[in-house]
């Protein structure tokens, strides 16, 4: 809790589009997630959010408006 949770999204084989991330905390409230594009050949995005409570989170990752395979993810914080 209050420690950055980070993950990466690679889009090199996905074509053109943007990455959007929605983070839902255990109480069902949306939390902020920073999404920063890396300037690399793999078209990687660094994503960081700061969990505010312990419990099961829901992380929805979208590329070009569509959920990526295996999304939503369910990390336990």
- Domain range for residue 34? 5-67
Question: Within a domain: residue 35?
Answer: yes
Quote the CA–CA distance of 28 and 12 in Å, as a whole number. 32
Q: Return the CATH number at 61.
A: 2.60.40.10
Question: Within a domain: residue 23?
Answer: yes
pTM for the whole structure: 0.90
Query: For every one of its 77 residues, what pLDDT tens digit does the chain have, with 9 covering 90 and above?
Result: 879 999 999 998 888 899 999 999 999 999 999 999 998 888 899 999 999 999 999 999 999 999 999 999 999 99
Domain count, the chain: 1
Question: Within a domain: residue 76?
Answer: no
With beta carbons less than 8 A apart as the criterion, state whether 19 and 62 touch. Answer: yes
Quote the CA–CA distance of 65 and 3 in Å, as a whole number. 28
Question: Within a domain: residue 54?
Answer: yes
From the number of C-beta atoms within 10 Å of its C-beta (0-12, 13-18, 19+), residue 71 rates as: middle
Question: Within a domain: residue 59?
Answer: yes
Quote the CA–CA distance of 23 and 18 in Å, as a whole number. 17
């Amino acid at each position: 809790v209050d420690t950055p949770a980070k993950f990466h999204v690679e889009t090199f084989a996905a074509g053109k589009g943007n990455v959007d991330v929605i983070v839902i905390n255990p109480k069902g409230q949306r939390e902020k997630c920073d999404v920063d594009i890396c300037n690399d050949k793999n078209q990687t995005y660094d994503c960081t959010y700061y969990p505010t409570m312990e419990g099961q989170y829901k992380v929805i990752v979208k590329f070009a408006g569509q959920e990526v395979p295996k999304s939503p993810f369910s990390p336990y914080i």
